[in-house]
Amino acid sequence: MTQPQTLRRRGAVLATAALMSWAALAPASVQAQAATPTVQLPDFTELVERVGPAVVNIRTLERPGNGGGNLRGQVPPEFEEFLRRFGIPLPNRPDRGGPRNGPQDDEDNEPQQRGVGSGFVLSADGYIMTNAHVVDGADEVIVTLTDKRELKAKIVGADRRTDVAVVKVEATGLPFVKIGDANRLKVGEWVLAIGSPFGLDNTVTAGIVSAKQRDTGDYLPFIQTDVAINPGNSGGPLLNLRGEVVGINSQIYSRSGGFMGISFAIPIDEATRVADQLRANGRVIRGRIGVEIAPVMKDVAEAIGLGKPQGALVRNVESDGPADKAGIQAGDIIVKVDGKAVEKSGDLPRIIGAIKPGAKSTLQVFRRGGTQDIAVTVGEFPPDRQPQRAQATPPKEEKAASLSAFGMTVADLTDAQKKELGVTGGVRVEAAEGAAARAGVQAGDVVLQVGNTEVANAKQFAAAAARMDKDRPVSVLIRRGNWVNYLLIRPR
């Protein structure tokens, strides 16, 4: 090896050693930055070009005198959709004056714009998905495509409980979206919304998934995002970076009417199941068992031996309904349906609703310290059924001899009271003070259970109370009107 070659080789070795020494002595943060590859923000342009043509603007019209009217001529139409969504009444249009039975009357009889929203094309033959509240009460529905064509649409079906609707336009060869899998979404993942906020067609906003399984409705666990959603975005698609629809933008959390950093989307798998039924039957067929439910609180779960807060507390059982016929009782906690765990009360309507009416299901219930399986034949949920209101208090009748415990003065129920309430036992609270009052017990309540012990009369109530540890919280199952609930009486 020649002398110049030897010198070059030694120089390279020294340079490598110096670089390694610098790396070893550099701060950890500098080393981490050097080792971490640069992450670039996503470019949405190709995705928007591909999916944008399948997103439509939906405008609804209403004929004068059909329904509640709107703020015609008073506020922009894009705000009317927001007002209706949050239940703000819309006054009829004021009389603009002028002669009757003339041209002015003809103008008044013309359909007036009721609101605006968004939607997306499901198939090339013109089926479009949107929110039920977008088309609710509309006399006419106009769909505007990205090529500016305006087509009249027919409402195929709408389901208020999930806020999903399907409309149909007479057209062929329409661009349509690709349906994705909402279950694959991850918190922190980038998502994109396309819609018509404030009536501005094909507006694109982006953000991330903030949370999943948000329980804000009876039948849907929502996707929460920080994507900017405003009035008019309702019914538009929520897209992942593959250009697949993973949700329908449905709700906003706002104190001002504008975007405040929180929005909610219906998971597309849930929406697709609803849309398929709407296209096939014009409505959604759901199972029901006829119970009113409430969450199970952590302290109550521990006090009654359930362990962790899980399941759905049955507050009331509909007389002669499927659950009543099967033997489900108020105060039961439904923890499983056909082996599937009911983690929280909101899971129960979704699980039961997905069961075909007429099918037999096995409910596992927690009752008085233990679990048991009960077979129930699932009924059908009638369309737009309104929940029953509870009575304020049972009717007052003749009092029996009273007894005091836990700060409660109680009395036996008369036969007439038992018949009225549909119970076979329990004691009526005549007065509550001290620990019982602090727990929320009220005069007129009926105590059905102390701890996990059922009480049929005042004597049994006293015996059960005597067995309780006075230094630990005691759970009582009370009935108030048509509802039951657990209350926890805590010693001071």
The catalytically annotated residue of 118, 196, 234, 345 is 234
Task: Give domain 402-489's CATH architecture.
Answer: Roll (2.30)
What is the predicted pLDDT for the residue at 99? Answer: 42
What is the predicted pLDDT for the residue at 35? Answer: 54
Higher model confidence: residue 469 or residue 411? Answer: 411
Pick from 202-206, 405-409, 438-442 the range whose average pLDDT is largest. Answer: 202-206
Q: Could you confirm whether 163 is annotated as catalytic? A: yes
Q: Could you confirm whether 133 is annotated as catalytic? A: yes
Instruction: Taking residues 374-391, report their average pLDDT.
Output: 65
Pick from 186-195, 386-395, 399-408 the range whose average pLDDT is largest. Answer: 186-195
- Please, which pLDDT band fits residue 345 given cuts at 50, 70 and 90? confident
Confirm or deny that 232 is annotated as ligand binding: yes
Question: Whole-number mean pLDDT of the chain?
Answer: 79
Among 170-179, 196-205, 244-253, where is mean pLDDT lowest?
Answer: 196-205
Residues 6+ apart with CB under 8 A from 270: 162, 182, 219, 220, 221
Higher model confidence: residue 111 or residue 177? Answer: 177
Instruction: Taking residues 284-306, report their average pLDDT.
Output: 90
C-alpha pair distances (Å), 370 with each of 299, 333, 367: 17, 10, 6
Confirm or deny that 196 is annotated as ligand binding: no
CATH code linked to domain 48-94+109-169 = 2.40.10.10
Q: What is the pLDDT of residues 418-457, one digit of tens each?
A: 888 778 888 888 888 878 888 888 888 889 888 888 888 8
CB 205 within 8 A of CB 193: yes
Domain layout of the chain by residue ranges: 48-94+109-169, 179-281, 287-380, 402-489
The catalytically annotated residue of 118, 136, 159, 163 is 163
Confirm or deny that 133 is annotated as ligand binding: yes
Instruction: Taking residues 153-165, report their average pLDDT.
Output: 92
Query: Is the model's pTM score more than 0.85?
Result: no
Q: Find, among 87, 225, 217, the residue nearest to 163 by Cα.
A: 217
Would you list the DSSP string of 125-156? Answer: TSEEEE-HHHHTT-SEEEEE-TT--EEEEEEE
Pull the structure tokens for residue 220.
Answer: 């849907």
CB 336 within 8 A of CB 364: yes
Pull the structure tokens for residue 466.
Answer: 């005597």
Residue 40 DSSP SS3: coil
Confirm or deny that 404 is annotated as ligand binding: no
Does residue 461 register a pLDDT over 50? Answer: yes
Pull the structure tokens for residue 292.
Answer: 């009113």
CATH code linked to domain 179-281 = 2.40.10.10
Instruction: Taking residues 205-215, report their average pLDDT.
Output: 87
The catalytically annotated residue of 118, 133, 159, 332 is 133
Instruction: Taking residues 144-166, report their average pLDDT.
Output: 92
Q: What is the pLDDT of residues 79-117, one digit of tens each?
A: 555 445 544 445 444 433 344 444 445 555 566 666 789
Q: Do domains 48-94+109-169 and 402-489 have the same CATH topology?
A: no
Does residue 1 register a pLDDT over 70? Answer: no
CA angle 249, 250, 254 (to 5 degrees): 105
CATH code linked to domain 287-380 = 2.30.42.10
CB 167 within 8 A of CB 155: yes
Pick from 175-179, 280-284, 426-430 the range whose average pLDDT is largest. Answer: 175-179
Taking each continuous run of H as one helix and of E as one strand, the counts in the chain are 13, 28
254 HSE (CA, 13 A, CB side): 18
What is the predicted pLDDT for the residue at 287? Answer: 92
Residue 264, H or E segment: strand 263-267
Cα gap 313→477, rounded to integer Å: 11
Confirm or deny that 234 is annotated as ligand binding: yes
Cα gap 13→478, rounded to integer Å: 84
Q: Could you confirm whether 105 is annotated as catalytic? A: no
Q: What is the pLDDT of residues 308-327, one digit of tens each?
A: 999 999 998 988 999 999 99
Cα gap 485→420, rounded to integer Å: 19
What is the predicted pLDDT for the residue at 490? Answer: 82
